[in-house]
Amino acid sequence: MKTIIAINPGATSTKIALYQDEELLWKEDILYTPEDLEPYAKVFDQFDRRLKDIEAILSKHHVETIDVAVGRGGLIGPVKPGAILVTDDLINHLEYHPVLEHPSNLGAKLAKFIMADYGNDKPAYVYDPVTVDSMRDVSRLTGIKGVERTSTGHHLNMRAVARKVAEDLGKSYDDLNIVIAHLGGGSTASAHEKGAIVDFVSDDEIMFSAERSGGIPLKAVISKIKEMGIDDFNYLARKKAGLQSHCKTADLRDVEKRMADGDKEASLVFDALALGIAKTLAVLAVSINGPVDMVCITGGMAYSKALCEAVKERTSFIGPFKAYPGEFELEALALGGLRVSNQEEDYQELTF
């Protein structure tokens, strides 16, 4: 039996869970207000506080030893999927040369320090960072040389869902073709062909989400940037677009309440949301060589039965449909670490 801790630092929380092999023992969210984090100029300035808070939870649960610690991967840069060994070099890269400043960059260092205190300096890992990249070269090209499509998004949760599909079908992930959309504040989607993510739709392409604009006609984008300026337009497209722009809320449940009250504009926005998701899944389906075994949606908006039905109806020609509501990130971290510890899966060691 092995004790595994999964650590997922986010913008306003650190989510942690303790597993014994595949069994969840407990999970907790350490929550932070903007005022709590205001004194810290940079993400890594939060490290001591976040580590102390994690150790307080471990003490509360009387945890004495841990066999494996797995942290959220952070914005490392293009990497292969799976486990990555945490080294001082990796931590230095995430602190001083990340793709983007983000709290998930703390995952590696938190995992390493937890193992120093609770695991006799046994190895720590990160798993399926947001920058996992196994896209085919043909999927990267756009109509402008030097401007390429990228693979940055909810890889951890979508690969966890893909494994659940395999379990549900009684098959190996490496034998299946699956298209998955993760739907939330920002939405991304992926095409899985025989265990590899061969194409990816990031949150600035095709479908809009609760807060993101998704794809917008380029002429309109240029006009808006001229009108608003780059910074204000970026804030609009990343924080105040999608449901926020149309319905002044990022909560799909609020939109559905307005629909139930006869709000025709809310109904139109809902239909457009479902159409954009279905278009995205259809686009990814043609990147797969062979029939699609399952069409999936996951994330917070997948709790909506109405949205699931709308997407299912539009994608029925692609393949069977199943929703996996919520996110499985802590589970994915823990089980990934368990597979590596049991030598069922290899890990990578990166150099920079």
For residue 107, pLDDT beyond 90: yes
Among 276, 8, 348, smallest CA distance to 156 is for: 8
Give 178-233 pLDDT, tens digit per residue: 999 999 999 999 999 999 999 999 999 999 999 999 999 999 999 999 999 999 99
Q: Tell me what pLDDT residue 183 has.
A: 97
Question: Residue 244 is which amino acid?
Answer: Q
Cα–Cα distance list, 208 to 130, 268, 311, 319 (Å): 19, 14, 14, 23
Higher-scoring residue by pLDDT: 75, 292: 292
Q: Tell me what pLDDT residue 163 has.
A: 96
Domains and CATH numbers, the chain: 3-133+329-348 (3.30.420.40), 155-325 (3.30.420.40)
The model's pTM is: 0.92
E strand or H helix at 106, and its extent?
Answer: none
Give 248-284 pLDDT, tens digit per residue: 999 999 999 999 999 999 999 999 999 999 999 999 9
E strand or H helix at 221, and its extent?
Answer: helix 218-228
